[in-house]
Structure 1
Amino acid sequence: MYRVWNFLTDYSLLLIIGAGMALVWANIDASSYHHFVEFVIWENGPIGHLHDGHRTLTLHYLINDVLMALFFAIAAKEVWEAVILKTGSLRGRKAATPLFATAGGMFGPILVYLGLAMVMGSETYQAVSNGWAIPTATDIAFSYLVGRLVFGAGHPAVRFLLLLAIADDAAGLIILAIFYPSGELAPEWLLVSLAAAILVFVLFNWLPRALDGAKDHRPASTWVRKNLSFLPYLVAGCVSWYAFMRSGLHPALGLLPIVPTIPHADRAFGMFSAAEEHLTDLLNQIEHALKYPVEIVLLFFGLLNAGVEFSSMGNVTWLVLAGLLIGKPVGIFIMGYIAARPMGLGIPEGMRIIDLFVIGCVAAIGFTVALFVASVAFPGGAVQDAAKMGALFSFGAAIISVIAGKLCRVEKQSV
């Protein structure tokens, strides 16, 4: 990736600024804030039926459903790299314990969220149950930053955390696609997305390489790269996005089928490695080009989604927080321990079992993805606002992580 460390140090700050502005604005003048969020950019446009059943493009729809597709494409690129490349970080035995810990970090929050909701009574349970996926999220950006603060940049627990976070992202994308469709499902449209992915791969990736054969100077691939660059993938991405929108799946996931079709180097330097910015394959170049646009998108995402009034706090706020702050650390520790000890899969050299609990505290920062899931899990209104407040309050996990690190006597390790 333009490996998300530069990415993170930049856009994380913009995301925080956007969220902070939204909170202040919504609590000073809620009416003007909500008017801004639902600002109509295009009325009766030719795009097709959008979120309100009409051809109306609002600022909120443009950011959440159209431009956030770029953010999820970058997450998908991380997953694809980690799983498919020979040097991928989620291949083989080294990924086993982080994957088990990831499962604990997802099932733990779900059990805590739904369990407490049931204790609160059937009426509360019915009102909030659809938000079960909100506390499963781990914000990879802020978790990475806090992980470095708690463990030090050179601690093996930081790499473990990154493996866990990227696996969590992969599971989160699946959950969004399956459990939170944006409308009535019309799965036949997914064939259009699949066709776009297959065509662009065959015509502009596989075929040029096949024509090149054993020629070292690769004339066909060079011509395609020089003259067409990313344009075929842009067209395929637009087709796939539209197909996802018409299929009823959330259109922000619409670029996912196209990411694996883009030519990629058969090597990776590891997650967040600065060295990867020097890779010149098309997939990495596209990501480099998206760096600053995605920063701006995330600024607006924070601005348009974090504007909740403090008075909106309710039961779901505390359920989301409990799922993140209790379910995450406990689930990650238990499943990580089972994988490392009884199953004998082990943990990285230099890590202790107790570090799993501290990693769980760091992973409890839900923020970006939790906000996104909250916005699709509940219709606009009091329950959605209360859920978003829980996602915002998950920043408190950063303080808890520092305290947990001190209590567990974590020894920081520099690079």
Structure 2
Amino acid sequence: MYRVWNYIADYSLLLISGAVIALVWANVAPDSYHALVHFPLWTGGPIGALEIHEGLPQRVMTLHFLFNDVLMAFFFAIAAKEVWEAVALHDGSLRGRKALTPLIATVGGMIGPVVVYLCLALALGVLDEVSRGWAIPTATDIAFSYLVGRVVFGARHPAIGFLLLLAIADDAGGLAILAIFYPSGEVAPAWLLLSLAAALSVYFLTNVLPRRLDRGNQARPYSTWVRKVLGFWPWALAGAVSWYGFQMAGLHPALGLLPIVPTIPHAEREFGVFADEERFQTDLLNVIEHGLKVPVQFVLFGFGLLNAGVEFSAISEPTWLVLVGLIIGKPLGITLFGWLAAYPLRLGLPAGMALRDLPVVGCVAAIGFTVALFVASVAFPGGPIQDAAKMGALFSLGSAFIAITAGRIFGVRRSV
């Protein structure tokens, strides 16, 4: 049963299942599907989407808000954990010169899709209507890209490490884009002080203070008490406060746990994304991540179910803008900027990786799916344009077949 579950989790089958069910449901019985998506759980509480009821603004907790704004915070927290470890730890994969080429390629992989998206929108005469969706094709689905990359390159090819570094950096850039360019309401920056206070308080009370009190005592009684008695609860409380601060600040609350992640005690080394060795780590950050692994899979199922329900009649210009931005802009940007970093800037490529591998990496990274769906849901209000953009994000899964074909065309040598 453990192997079966790992297979389901590794291949994100719950997310895919939710998306497929949503697509079928929305096209067979759209009224009942949309009734589910917008089903109100309660009205008038402190959290929820702002809606006008009887002439007054009230917060309404719908199923859509619950998954997109509350529960997806755990998904982004896991992504932030990988980014934080890669940047902060001594042997992190995004530290030092070794990370420069994939980082520069990541910049190209974000600029390329934006340029293609906006130029094509201008050519089609729909720029004014769809300009807010420019960030949708910048996304890379790290899980699916990793899986397809292993099919194309093999498990031991150096391009896999390059791809993962690129995907991690892409996640970091995507989180920044969401926070800066897609506020969920009228921005009130003062509320971010609440999130900052939560992060600083939990770090001081659970880390700095116990260490100072334990100074000179090898038994470390205060630090041990915090670890054994309090467990993860201080960070859970701080996370809730930080999430509320993001909601009230007008930033997307799904990012609300990001300030708390760096405050959680973590190991002094990281094994990399999807590394099996991490399950043996006993630091709190890894313990929390692996505790969230199963619940987050079901969150992704709900996310797919509540966001991928698009009627095929919604296919229009935004669909092709997102899709072309991904399948053309990503490979072009990654190849151009990767070449620029490797040769004119003389930063080089990983040993065993050739220039011909870059466009193939770009094709693999063009799978937007999860994150692209999320960005589409916040870039446009509910309606035909959002639905069309979501369809482009769903169609980006087809880049897996493009990547496999590109691998054969460019003569990629698989390293198993």
Query: Considering the TM-score relative to the shorter chain, is it more than 0.5?
Result: yes
Identity %: 66
Deviations 1:31-62 (A, max 9, x none): 11001111111122x32463324221100000
Inter-partner Cα distance in structure 1 for 2:172 and 2:360: 22
Deviations 1:368-396 (A, max 9, x none): 00000000000000000000000000011
| 2:70 match | 66
Distance apart, 1:251 and its partner CA: 0.3
The alignment status of 1:111 with 2:111, answered yes or no, reads no
Distance apart, 1:209 and its partner CA: 2.0
| 2:329 match | 327
Inter-partner Cα distance in structure 2 for 1:98 and 1:215: 45
Q: Does the CA-based 8 Å contact 1:367-1:392 persist in structure 2? A: yes
Of 316, 325, 335, the match for 2:318: 316
Q: Does the CA-based 8 Å contact 1:7-1:291 persist in structure 2? A: no
| 1:51 match | 50
1:300 counterpart letter in structure 2: G
| 2:236 match | 234
The alignment status of 1:92 with 2:96, answered yes or no, reads yes
Distance apart, 1:149 and its partner CA: 0.4
2:375 counterpart letter in structure 1: V
- In 2 relative to 1, CA 42–10 (structure 1 residues): closer, same or farther, beyond 3 Å? farther
2:258 counterpart letter in structure 1: L
Q: Does the CA-based 8 Å contact 1:109-1:331 persist in structure 2? A: yes
TM-score (norm 1): 0.96
* SS of equivalent residue, structure 2 residue 189: coil
Alignment of 1:149-188 (within 5 A): 149-188=151-190
TM-score (norm 2): 0.96
Inter-partner Cα distance in structure 2 for 1:206 and 1:233: 14
| 1:413 match | 415
Distance apart, 1:211 and its partner CA: 2.2
Of 72, 75, 80, the match for 2:79: 75
Distance apart, 1:30 and its partner CA: 0.7
Distance apart, 1:136 and its partner CA: 0.1
1:295 counterpart letter in structure 2: Q
Q: Does the CA-based 8 Å contact 1:97-1:336 persist in structure 2? A: yes
Inter-partner Cα distance in structure 1 for 2:147 and 2:50: 35
1:310 counterpart letter in structure 2: F
* SS of equivalent residue, structure 1 residue 380: coil
| 1:127 match | 129
Inter-partner Cα distance in structure 2 for 1:210 and 1:144: 42
- In 2 relative to 1, CA 208–74 (structure 1 residues): closer, same or farther, beyond 3 Å? same
| 2:32 match | 32
- In 2 relative to 1, CA 357–84 (structure 1 residues): closer, same or farther, beyond 3 Å? same
Deviations 1:293-328 (A, max 9, x none): 101000000000000011100101000011000000
* SS of equivalent residue, structure 2 residue 49: coil
Deviations 1:309-354 (A, max 9, x none): 1110010100001100000000000000000011100000010001
* SS of equivalent residue, structure 2 residue 61: strand
Inter-partner Cα distance in structure 1 for 2:217 and 2:309: 57
Q: Does the CA-based 8 Å contact 2:310-2:390 persist in structure 1? A: yes
| 2:278 match | 276
Inter-partner Cα distance in structure 1 for 2:189 and 2:136: 25
Q: Does the CA-based 8 Å contact 2:112-2:325 persist in structure 1? A: yes
Of 193, 196, 218, the match for 1:194: 196
Deviations 1:77-120 (A, max 9, x none): 11100000001000000000000100000000000000111111
* SS of equivalent residue, structure 2 residue 99: helix
| 1:16 match | 16
Inter-partner Cα distance in structure 1 for 2:7 and 2:241: 27
Inter-partner Cα distance in structure 1 for 2:105 and 2:219: 46
Inter-partner Cα distance in structure 2 for 1:38 and 1:108: 35
1:151 counterpart letter in structure 2: F
Q: Does the CA-based 8 Å contact 1:41-1:59 persist in structure 2? A: yes
Distance apart, 1:288 and its partner CA: 1.1
1:100 counterpart letter in structure 2: I
Q: Does the CA-based 8 Å contact 1:10-1:295 persist in structure 2? A: no
Inter-partner Cα distance in structure 2 for 1:360 and 1:110: 15
| 1:391 match | 393
Inter-partner Cα distance in structure 2 for 1:287 and 1:6: 15
| 1:244 match | 246
Inter-partner Cα distance in structure 2 for 1:341 and 1:262: 39
1:268 counterpart letter in structure 2: E
Inter-partner Cα distance in structure 2 for 1:199 and 1:148: 42
| 1:303 match | 305
- In 2 relative to 1, CA 195–160 (structure 1 residues): closer, same or farther, beyond 3 Å? same
Distance apart, 1:214 and its partner CA: 4.9
Structure 1: which 5+ runs fail to align? none
Distance apart, 1:291 and its partner CA: 0.9
Q: Does the CA-based 8 Å contact 1:11-1:298 persist in structure 2? A: no
- Give me the CA root mean square deviation: 1.3
Q: Give the ranges of 4+ consecutive aligned residues of structure 1 lying more than 3 Å apart after TM superposition.
A: 5-11, 214-217
Distance apart, 1:6 and its partner CA: 5.2
Structure 2: which 5+ runs fail to align? 52-56
